[in-house]
């Protein structure tokens, strides 16, 4: 296998690495990491352990969120000089909530080759074992850090018909589920996948209400790295019907907005007639006053 050619531009290899179980490394990935001229890594200390496991000795350079614009320009010049480079993140497939996009964009804009070396990806692994529809889905990355921003995020997706997925940390998983429960109906199906491919891998499919209870009561369910998958809303073909989800969406919006703004946003999200939503909003406000 040849990863660079004399007197030609180098190639950038986007290499997926294991998300936990080192046995998930592909033969092709090992071969590329051995033969490129250098490896651009999110955390060189972390990647060194992987390289040592597979007996790979190669030059490492740092490419992380704080230096990637400057480092990408340097790496592009190395590619133009004929050097081959492998891009890796700490775990999984680069660019999916990991650094690397500026480099890949620069290389593509320069009309140089970017070669994917596929492998482990937490998003795909979780979807494959979730038991929720995967024909159409949206990946949302990591959630906002504040409660109000998360609730706004959930409000925008409460009526989304597609399955949607996000990553979350152990520090915020419970708070994120609590915020979700204030916006989405408690019977909405979700999947919590934690520590994928690792010793304590857990994949639970249940209702939002049950998931909130499980995570709140079980310390182990607040440890590790999380992928959360949310079932899409059932399509409502009758815009004359106000569902419990519509009402809950309005309740959340009315906490932050005027009736006019809340109704306008709800119309945009749900497609339900403005007059019907306005009547419900008035009723909600009246209930709050009594």
Which H, E and C letters describe 66-128, residue by residue? CCHHHHHHHHHHHHHCCCCEEEECCCECCCCCCCCHHHHHHHHHCCCCEEEECCCCHHHHHHH
CA 177/CA 228 separation, integer angstroms: 10
pLDDT average, residue stretch 179-183: 95
Q: What pLDDT does 4 receive? A: 47
If one compares 282 and 126, the residue with the highest pLDDT of the two is: 126
pLDDT at 238 over 70: no
Please state, for a pLDDT cut of 70, what percent of the chain lies above it: 95
- Six token digits for residue 277: 């939503």
pLDDT at 212 over 80: yes
CA 115/CA 11 separation, integer angstroms: 7
The set of residues, in sequence order, having a beta carbon less than 8 Å from that of 204 and lying 6+ positions away, is 191, 192, 193, 211, 214
pLDDT average, residue stretch 73-82: 96
pTM: predicted TM-score of the whole model, two decimal places: 0.79
pLDDT at 283 over 50: yes
Query: How many Cβ atoms are within 10 Å of 171's Cβ, its own excluded?
Result: 10
**Secondary structure of residue 150 in the 3-state scheme:** helix
pLDDT at 240 over 70: no
With bands split at pLDDT 50, 70 and 90, how would you rate the model's confidence at 274?
A: confident
Q: What pLDDT does 231 receive? A: 96
pLDDT at 237 over 70: no
Sole residue written with tokens 């531009």: 9
- Among residues 78, 85, 20, the alpha carbon closest in space to that of 59 is found at 85
Please state, for a pLDDT cut of 90, what percent of the chain lies above it: 73
With bands split at pLDDT 50, 70 and 90, how would you rate the model's confidence at 242?
A: confident
């Amino acid at each position: 296998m040849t990863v660079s050619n004399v007197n030609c531009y180098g190639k950038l290899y986007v290499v997926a690495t294991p998300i936990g179980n080192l046995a998930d490394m592909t033969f092709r990935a090992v071969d590329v990491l051995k033969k490129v001229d250098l490896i651009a890594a999110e955390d060189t200390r972390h990647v060194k352990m992987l390289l040592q496991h597979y007996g790979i000795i190669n030059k490492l350079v740092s490419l992380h969120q704080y230096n990637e614009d400057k480092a990408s320009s340097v790496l592009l010049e190395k590619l133009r000089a004929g050097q081959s480079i492998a891009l890796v993140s700490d775990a999984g497939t680069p660019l999916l909530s990991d650094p690397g996009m500026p480099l890949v964009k620069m290389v593509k804009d320069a009309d140089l080759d970017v070669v994917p070396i596929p492998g482990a990806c937490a998003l795909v692994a979780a979807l494959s074992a979730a038991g929720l529809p995967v024909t159409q889905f949206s990946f949302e990355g990591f959630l906002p850090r504040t409660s109000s921003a998360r609730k706004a995020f959930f409000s925008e997706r409460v009526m989304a018909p597609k399955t949607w997925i996000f990553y979350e940390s152990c520090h915020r998983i419970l708070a994120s589920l609590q915020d979700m429960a204030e916006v989405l109906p408690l019977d909405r199906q979700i999947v919590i996948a934690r520590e994928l491919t690792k010793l304590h891998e857990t994949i639970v499919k249940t209702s939002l209400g049950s998931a909130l209870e499980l995570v709140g009561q079980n310390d182990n369910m607040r440890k590790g790295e999380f992928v959360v998958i949310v079932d899409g809303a059932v399509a409502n073909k009758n815009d004359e019907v106000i569902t419990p989800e519509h009402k809950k969406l309005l309740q959340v919006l009315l906490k932050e907005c005027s009736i006019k703004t809340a109704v306008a946003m709800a119309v945009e999200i749900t497609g339900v007639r403005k007059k019907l939503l306005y009547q419900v909003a008035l009723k909600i406000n009246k209930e709050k006053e009594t």
